[in-house]
Structures are given as C-alpha cells and as structure tokens.
Amino acid sequence: MTDVDHDQSETVYEAAGGHEGMLRLAAAWHRRVLEDEVVAHAFSHGYHPRHTERLAAYWAEALGGPSHYSERYGDETSVVRIHSGNGEHEEMDALAIACFDQALEDAGLATDERLRTVLHDYFAWATTRSMARYPRSPDDVPAGLRIPRWSWHGLVESESP
C-alpha cells in the first residue's frame, strides 16, 4: 500500500477526492449494504431517493468539506433521529463498518493507508457512537446538534450545540 504524506492544510475530504470522492464512496457503501442481508434491513422500509447524494454531502461536511448538508438537508439532530429508536444493533453496526471498509476499496480510497485508516476510524466512530447513542427513541435526541467534524487527528468538534 502507498502511504502519502498529506499536507497538514489538506482536509480528509480533499484527500478523499472532494465531492466526487465522497459520491463514489457513498455509492459504493450503499451498494454494499443493500447486498448484505443483515445491514439491508435498515433500508427495508425505504430510503430517500437521493440517499447517496445526501450521504456524500453529510460525509463531506463531517470530513472538512463544504457545509452543504447542513444548508440543504438538516442538522446532526435530524440525522441522529433517523438512526435512533431501533434498539441495540451491534452486529448490524459491525457489518455496516465492514461494508464501509469494502466500499473504500471499491471507491479507490484504500491505497493510501493513512487515508483509509482515518476514514475507517471516522465511520466506525459515527456508527457505534454518534448514530447509536439513542437506541430507545428518536425523542431522546436533543435539538440543535451540529455535524461533528473529523480531521486527520480524529474528532475536532463535539456534537453538542
């Protein structure tokens, strides 16, 4: 594997290919999860017709890109509420992370070890911590949460308002 020395001013979003990189990754992940019988259950009640585009915008904002998700679709509260109230689902989370790791390969983002690692760490954290924080009810999610930002060094902004 190649390990590229990233310019400290380059965001994870930029290193991942910007908007096009996020779209490739979101499309690859979405294909993978729909093929997994356990993870696909999360989509069994349907999903937004522009899910891939919205997911790419969300990841872009979280990884240092433009704030298009917040400007167009909603804040962290709205995202976390969608993922809340489904009980504990550790197996599904682990499989979703495995699908993400495979999607990194599919999207051509796994050849740079540092980039692959930071993207994996972000997704694993978001899946098991941020999105899984309110298993009982979407009503438990507080209003006004901001999309957490992730850098080469991990979480840089808490999700609190």
Q: How far apart are CA 156 and CA 53, in angstroms?
A: 24
- What's the pLDDT band for 44 if we cut at 50, 70, 90? confident
Q: Domain residues of the chain, as ranges?
A: 22-155
Q: What are phi and psi of 12, to 5 degrees?
A: -60, -40
| Residue closest to 123 by CA, chosen among 140, 105, 99 | 99
Q: How far apart are CA 111 and CA 140, in angstroms?
A: 40
Those residues with Cβ within 8 angstroms of residue 46's Cβ, 6 or more apart along the chain or in another chain: none
- What's the pLDDT band for 150 if we cut at 50, 70, 90? very high
- What's the pLDDT band for 132 if we cut at 50, 70, 90? confident
Q: Is the dihedral of CA 115, 28, 80, 125 positive or negative?
A: negative
Contact 30, 104 (CB under 8 A): no
Report pLDDT for 137: 92
Report pLDDT for 161: 44
What CATH number should be reported for the domain whose range is 22-155? 1.10.490.10
Cα-based distances in Å from 63 to 48, 53, 56, 121, 155:
22, 15, 10, 12, 10
